[in-house]
Chains A and B, each alone.
Chain A
Amino acid sequence: MTHSLTESPAGLAVQHPDARPNEIMTIAASRLLEDGKVLFAGIGQPLVAAAIAKRRQAPHLTVLLEGGMIGIELTPGELPASTNEVRAAVGAQMLTSATDIFLMAQRGYFHYGFIGGAQVDRYGNVNTSIVGDHARPTVRLPGPGGANDIASMCNEVVVVTQHEPRRFVERVDFVTSPGFLTGGTSRQDSGLLHGGPRWVVTDLALLDFTPDTHRMRVRALQTGVTLAQVQAATGFELLIHDQLDQLPPVEDAELALLRHLVGASHEGAEEASR
C-alpha cells in the first residue's frame, strides 16, 4: 500500500473533527488504491474514493464502470447518479458494451473491484438482494447490479460499508456477491479460481481475512475508535490481526478534496454514502 498503515500510537492521534463517518470511510478506501492499477468502481463512495486517489497518490489509476465506460474522469460537483448515464461517461477513453466490460473482468484485467452492501458476513459474502426469506422477503433490495461479477472476477475486492450490527451479520440472508463463501477452500471449490475480498473498509476499521480460514479480521482501527467499539458494531466474533494498526486521521486536504468532488451540499455527501 502506498499509504502506510501508520505506527501512530493509539490514543494520541485525534480524528478530524469535521469528518463525517461516511467521509472517514471513503477516504480510508481511497488510500488503499495504488497507482497504475485498474479499478472497477460503482456509484457513490467507490467512485469518490477513486477520484480522490487519482488526485493524490494514484494519478495513473484507470477507473471503469459497469456501463462500459473505461478511463473516466469525474467533473467535481457533477457526480453521476448511475453507472449508465452521461455524467459517468465524461472523459472516458473507451466506451464498450456492458457485456464486454464484464468479459474483460473475467479475463482478469481489473485489479480492484469496489462494492458496497446491505449485509456482509464473516467470510466477506455480500448481500444486496433481500432481507429475510427469499420467497417472501421482508425487504426486496435492488439486486447485484454489477457487484456479483465484480466480486467473482476482480483480483482484489474492496467492500465499503458502514459498520453497524445489522450490516455485519454472522451469515448474510442471501449471497448476492460471493466472498469466501463458507471459508477455507470453498470459494475455489465453487469454481471461483481468482480474487476474493481483500479489504472491508468501514467508518470504524479496516478489516481483512485470514489466509487459511478466510475469516474476517480487524487489521486497523480508524483514529479514535476502540476495538471494543468495532466488536460491538459487529454481529459476529471478529478475529484480530497480530499487529493491529491505527489508520491515520483524515487530513484537511483529503476532506477538502472529497467535498470539492461531491459538491458542497450535505445531501451530496449523503448520496455518496449509498
Chain B
Amino acid sequence: VSTRLVTPGVQAARVELEGLSRATEDKLTTAAEAVRRLVPNDAVIGVGGTNHARTPMALLIEVLRQGRTGLTMTRPLSCFEAELMLATGMADRVMTSWVGIGHGWGLAPVVRHLVENGQASFEEWSHLGIGLRYKAGAMGIPYLPTVSMLGSDIDQQLGLAKVTCPYTGQLLNAVPSLNPDVALVHVQRADQLGNAQIDGYQLMDADLVLAARRVILTAEEIVTTDEFRLDPARTVIPGFAVDAVVHQPMGAYPHECYGHYEADLDEFTAYMAAVKAGGVDGARAFAAGLIAHADHDAYLASIDPARLAAARRTAEEMLPR
C-alpha cells in the first residue's frame, strides 16, 4: 500500500495532539492571522462543506492572498474553489469524489485542462471513501472497512488494501484514515472557544474537524457560550478541537450558506467567462481579482448590495416554516 495513503497516520496525529493546548481560551482572530499561523506550504487542506455549500471561501481566498505551494485540497465534492487553487499553482493535487461547476456549466474546465495535460493530480475516491477517511481520522483508528469502491477501477487506481472480516470472512475494502494538516470550515454559529453549530446539512464537517491536525473556523455569527448551553445538542464541533475562530459574515460567498444566503450565480458566470476568455490564465486573473481586495469584507463591499440582499432573502425564504 502506498505510503501516501497513510500519511501522517492517526498515531502521529494523536502524539501531536499531546503538544497542543486544549484550554478553553479565546480563539477569535482574523482570517489573515489564522492562515499565516496554521496553513503551511505542502499542507493537505481539508475543505469543509461540499460543492457550493458552506465552502470556506474567505479562508481559501486568504490562502490565495498569502500564497502557498504544494497544497493538496481534499473535499468530498469540489467546485470552482478547487480550480482557483490549482490554476494559481498553489495546489497541485485534489483528493475528491467529484469536481464540477454545476448550474448547467457542467465540467470543470481548469481541472480538465490541468489533469488532461498531466499538470495536476486528481486522486479519485468514492463519496463515502472520503467520508470514511475523515471518520477513521476522527475516531483515531487507522482504517475503516466498507464495501465502497470494491470491484471498481477507483479501487484499482488507489491500490486499496482488502481486509477479511475475522468473524464472517466477508471481504471488505480497508479505507485508510486521513488526518488533514488543516481543516478550513465555515459554520453558521461559533463561540470564541471554538464550539460550533451547523444549520441544515452537516455534510462531513464534524468528522473533518475531529480528524484534522489544525482547525480554522469561520462563522456567520459569534455567540456567547451561554447561548450554546441553551440547546447544547445542536453543537456539533467541540471547542477543544478548534485552533482559531474567525467572525466572517458571508464567509462562504459566492457559495451558499444554509439559512443565510444562496450562491451568487453572477459570480459563477463571471468566473466561467474569465475561463472562457483566457483558459487557465483566465482563472488566474479571476483569482487575482479576488485577492486584490484587502480582505473578505472588502470583496463583499465590491459586490452590488442588491445582489447580496437578494441572495440573503432567497435563503431565508427557503427555510422551513
What is A's interface to B at a CB cutoff of 8 Å?
66-69, 81-87, 89-91, 95-99, 102-103, 105-106, 129, 134-146, 148-149, 152-153, 174-178, 181, 186-187, 190-193, 267, 270-271, 274
Contact = CB atoms under 8 A, between A and B. Distances in A.
Interface residues of B, number: 63
17 contacts: A67-B50, A67-B53, A84-B50, A84-B52, A85-B263, A86-B256, A90-B318, A98-B202, A102-B128, A146-B127, A146-B128, A148-B152, A152-B149, A176-B152, A186-B151, A187-B151, A191-B171
Given A98-B50, A106-B146, A178-B152, A145 B127 contact: yes
B115 A137 contact: yes
Main secondary structure of the interface of A (DSSP, over half): loop
Given A81-B104, A99-B134, A144 B200 contact: no
A119 B302 CA distance: 43
A142 to B, nearest CB: 4
Contacts of A85: 51-53, 256, 262-263
A105 B148 CA distance: 10
Interface of B: 49-53, 76-77, 96-100, 102-104, 106-108, 111-112, 115-118, 122, 124, 126-129, 131-132, 134-135, 146-154, 157, 162, 170-173, 200-204, 206-207, 256, 258, 262-263, 315, 318, 320
Given A137-B116, A143-B96, A149 B127 contact: yes
B127 A142 contact: no
B50, B151, B318, B320 interface centre (most CB from chain A within 10 Å): B151
B201 A68 contact: yes
A89 B258 contact: yes
A142 B203 contact: no
Nearest to A141: B107
A191 B150 contact: yes
A102 B173 CA distance: 15
Nearest to B105: A81
A143 B172 contact: no
B201 A95 contact: yes
A274 B106 CA distance: 9
Given A84-B53, A136-B118, A144-B97, A191 B112 contact: no
A177 B98 CA distance: 13
Given A82-B103, A142-B107, 10 more contacts: A84-B203, A85-B51, A89-B200, A102-B131, A106-B148, A140-B107, A140-B111, A144-B98, A148-B126, A187-B151
B313 to A, nearest CB: 12
A98 B151 contact: no
B112 A139 contact: yes
Contacts of B135: 99
Contacts of A140: 107, 111-112, 115-116, 122
Nearest to B259: A86
Nearest to B147: A152
A33 B186 CA distance: 38
A152 B150 contact: yes
A142 B116 contact: no
Contacts of B116: 136-140
Contacts of B49: 84
B154 A144 contact: yes
Contacts of A267: 104
Given A98-B131, A99-B207, A142 B100 contact: yes
Contacts of A90: 318, 320
Nearest to A103: B128
B131 A99 contact: yes
A67 B102 CA distance: 15
A91 B321 CA distance: 10
A143 B124 contact: yes
Contacts of A95: 200-202
B169 to A, nearest CB: 11
A144 B320 CA distance: 30
B99, B154, B262 interface centre (most CB from chain A within 10 Å): B154
B108 to A, nearest CB: 7
A136 B151 CA distance: 22
A144 B112 CA distance: 15
A141 B153 CA distance: 14
Given A143-B98, A191-B151, A66 B127 contact: yes
Given A66-B127, A67-B201, A142 B148 contact: no
A129 B201 contact: no
A81, A153, A271 interface centre (most CB from chain B within 10 Å): A81
A179 B170 CA distance: 20
Nearest to A268: B104
Nearest to B104: A271
A69, A106, A145 interface centre (most CB from chain B within 10 Å): A145
A174 B147 CA distance: 18
B151 A190 contact: yes
